[in-house]
Each structure stands twice: as C-alpha cells, then as structure tokens.
Amino acid sequence: MENSPIQPDAIIAGECIGLLNALREPAADLIFADPPFNIGYKYDCYEDRKAYDEYFDWTSQWMRACAEKALKPAGSFWIAIGDEYAAEVRIIARRLGLNLRNWVIWHYTFGQATKLKFARSHAHLFYFTKDARKFTFNDTAVRMPSARQTTYADRRANPAGKLPDDVWSFSRVCGTFNERVDWHPCQMPEKVLERIIKVSSSDGDVVLDPFSGSGTTCCTAARLKRRYIGIEISENYVECSRQRLADTLAGRRPTTDISENPEALRHKRAVGKKSESDPNIRVRKSHTESDAATC
Ligand SMILES: C[S@@+](CC[C@H](N)C(=O)[O-])C[C@H]1O[C@@H](n2cnc3c(N)ncnc32)[C@H](O)[C@@H]1O
C-alpha cells in the first residue's frame, strides 16, 4: 500500500470506486458498506434518486471494486441495504463469486408510524466472505446470554452463552440519543457495527468503509482497536466525522457500550438503583431528522 492514497487510520475525502480501483494490493480484512439506498435521502452532495439501471450499474461497480480490489483473500464483506435493492445486491454478489454466510435482518425498534400498510422496521445486512472456508469468525466475542440461562435456569446451558440469531434487534439512532450527530441524515448505530467488527475482524485488522458518512464504522473500529479506512464523497461529512473520531479517541464522546465508557459508568453509579434510565439517552429540546449538514 506504499504510495497509495488509501492508508489506514484515516477518513479520506473522495469517490470510492476510483480510489478502490487504484489500489495495487488488497487493503481490507473487513469491509462494511452502507451505500445510499436510492430512496431520496437528502445528502449534502449526493443525489439519492437515480434511475434503476444507473443505480444497478453503480452498485455493481462499487461492489466489484470492494470485492476484487480492496478485500484481502480471507476478508469479510458486509453490506447494509433496504428492501428496494436487496435482491439486486444478492444477485451482484453471486456474479462476483462472493460466498453468502448470512442474510441478517436488522430489526429496528424505532420506525415511522403508517396508516395504510405495515410499518417498515428492518434493513438487510448481507454477510459475505471472499473464501468459503478461510475467514475470521470470533464467535466468543459476540456471544450473548441464552434463554436457557436467563429464563429456564437450565444447567445444560453453555456458560459462554449463545451466538446471536440472524435477526438482530437494535434501535435506530434516534434524535434523543447521545450517539446522534445532527449533521448527517442517516447514521448506523454503533451497536450494529460493534457486533460486525468484533465477529469479523481481530485487533489490528483493517476495517474499510467506502461510504463512511458520519464515521460510525471508523469510530467503532478505532474504539475496538482495529485500524480503519473511511471514504466519503462529501468534504463536509469528512471534516465533521474526523472531529467525531477525534472526540471518540479522546474519550470525549459517550459510546453506546457503557461498559467501555467511564463517563456513562460514573453516571450509572451516581443514579444507583433509583433510576432505570439509560445514560446514553438525553432529551433534546428540538430535533429534526435532516438537520442542516454543518457540524
Ligand atoms: C447511508 S450513508 C452512510 C452512513 C454511515 N454508515 C454512517 O453510519 O454514518 C451513505 C454515504 O455515502 C456517501 N457517498 C455517496 N456516494 C459516494 C461515493 N461514490 N464515494 C464515497 N462516498 C459516497 C454519501 O455522501 C453518504 O454520506
């Protein structure tokens, strides 16, 4: 990667397809991609409403650049996408020869109310690997208490807990969360990234996000002692997310995982058993989902 514009531990301003195609050797142990879903979100310099064929071709191009130029032979490739293009992502991945390990549904517990049809409360998280046999899967890092442990007091329960199923329930990052930045319209929860990064990479591995946005992947990767590369087309988002990253690295920003956050732990101890309140949630006086993109 010498002389490459893509070096670890940086959020880079630029267009991901060109940058990734210029790589001379694969850089990433793990790629997490959360592209614009082509549903009309308001980004500051990307038009999120393209004709079907244009979006399909563009998706094929960035997926190819990720799979063939950026991903190491034993690497993992996660893609977040909405219902509108989930089938297309699966087909493109098949054409690229990627190995599907899981088609995870992220069920979010904070959605929009509807009157004429059932409310959308999920997104798709595709989990591919380049190689069907060689990949990182740190099962112990993501185990959780099983029902045998929590509900049935079953002595046969594995004391290490169980692996999560392929439906994940995490709240979206709503306006009242400390985690929420108000200069980007569409922010992944750090908890989703935490699980993906913990299971699909190890300390010191390189995690790449070609659509870095508010910098969630880079911040979470850095907090988990991974190296990170973010690519983002908007210079404004790059500047703001570099500040978010600096705050994360300096411990100035509460994270979602209070066990790793001294400030939140202090708060929890202070309120003791009197309060069940989540220290990661604050109440804002006003909030709009698409606040102006200034930071
Ligand atoms: C869905 S958002 C990513 C959100 C991110 N996962 C987060 O948690 O903040 C998609 C991002 O891709 C950026 N983008 C669009 N086209 C791009 C391209 N060709 N190269 C790099 N970034 C691009 C947009 O500006 C937007 O910030």
Task: Flag whether the pTM goes above 0.85.
Answer: yes
Q: Is 216 a pocket residue for ligand 1 (Cβ < 6 Å)? A: yes
Interval between CA 73 and ligand 1 midpoint (Å): 25
Residue 124 lies in a domain: yes
The answer to the question of residue 175 being in a domain is yes
Output the CA angle 224-62-54, nearest 5 degrees.
Answer: 140
Say what the pLDDT of residue 280 is.
42
| Residues 231/7, Cβ–Cβ less than 8 Å | no
pLDDT in tens, 229-255: 999 999 999 999 999 999 999 988 765
Q: Which mutation among 233, 235, 243, 295 tests ligand 1's pocket best, with the greatest number of atoms within 8 A of CB?
A: 233
Q: Give the Å distance between the CA of 80 and the centre of ligand 1.
A: 12
Ligand 1 pocket residue status of 233, Cβ below 6 Å = yes
Q: Is 257 inside any structural domain?
A: yes
H, E, C per residue of 214-242: CCHHHHHHHHCCCEEEEEECCHHHHHHHH
5 assigned to some structural domain: no
pLDDT band at 2 (very low <50, low <70, confident <90, very high): low
Comparing 38-42, 61-65, 174-178, the range with the smallest average pLDDT is: 174-178
Q: What is the pLDDT of residue 253?
A: 75
Predicted local confidence at residue 176, as pLDDT: 82
Answer yes or no: is 219 within a domain. yes
Task: Look at residue 115 and tell me if it is in a domain.
Answer: yes
Provide CB contacts within 8 A for 276, sequence distance 6+: none
Distance 172 CA to ligand 1 centre (A): 17
Residue type, 193: L
Quick: pLDDT tens for 60-104: 999 999 999 999 999 999 999 999 999 999 999 999 999 999 999
- Per-residue pLDDT, 295: 58
Helical ranges in the chain per DSSP H: 16-21, 52-64, 83-95, 139-142, 147-150, 190-200, 216-223, 235-249, 262-271
Give the residue numbers spanning the domain of 210: 10-274
Q: Which residues contact 277 (CB under 8 A, 6 or more apart)?
A: 271
CATH number for the domain harbouring residue 197: 3.40.50.150
In a domain, 295, yes or no: no
- Who contacts 280 (Cβ-Cβ below 8 Å, separation ≥6)? 177, 178, 179, 254, 255, 256, 258, 264
Determine, yes or no, domain membership for 126. yes
**What is the tally of structural domains in the chain?**
1
Per-residue DSSP letter, 91? H
Least confident of 45-54, 224-233, 264-273: 264-273
